[in-house]
Structure 1
Amino acid sequence: MTKSLNNVRLDPETGEAVWVEEDYCSPPLAMEREVLDQYFTDLVIAEEDMTETEGWGRIEKYPLLWDEIKGGV
């Protein structure tokens, strides 16, 4: 989870934070939810059949969320 949150991206079209998390819990992110809910609202899980590498490749074009936040300060 640390790797994923360090690499969170910002979708400039929607303003949403996006990341890839390989998860085997049911429901997804069940163990992480307590922490994630402290920082994110309206958490949406998009379950897709792809590797973690494919998922990150899909969002790598987006800017890093943390860079965007630091730039706005």
Structure 2
Amino acid sequence: MAKSCKGLATELVKCLSESDCVKVENRSIRDCAGEKSPSVSSECVGLRETYFNCKRGQVDMRARIRGNKGY
């Protein structure tokens, strides 16, 4: 994993592990990250979108030439 997205991934895992989706519903972090559940906070949803955009920027050759724009 590139260094530019590693911090986002860590924050996302930490946020999801503290959410009701994991704590109350006893679901895995992967399950909670993959869908839009009401038990996942809007902060985690925002981190998820930012992380996915960061990863997409690494794959998209046009974005790789321009850079990740601070993600």
TM-score of the aligned structures, taking structure 1 as reference length: 0.29
- More helix per residue: 1 or 2? 2
Q: Which has the larger radius of gyration?
A: 2
Specify which structure has the bigger relative contact order, considering alpha-carbon pairs within 8 angstroms and separated by 6 or more residues: 1
TM-score, normalised via structure 2 length: 0.30
- Which protein is richer in strand relative to its size? 1
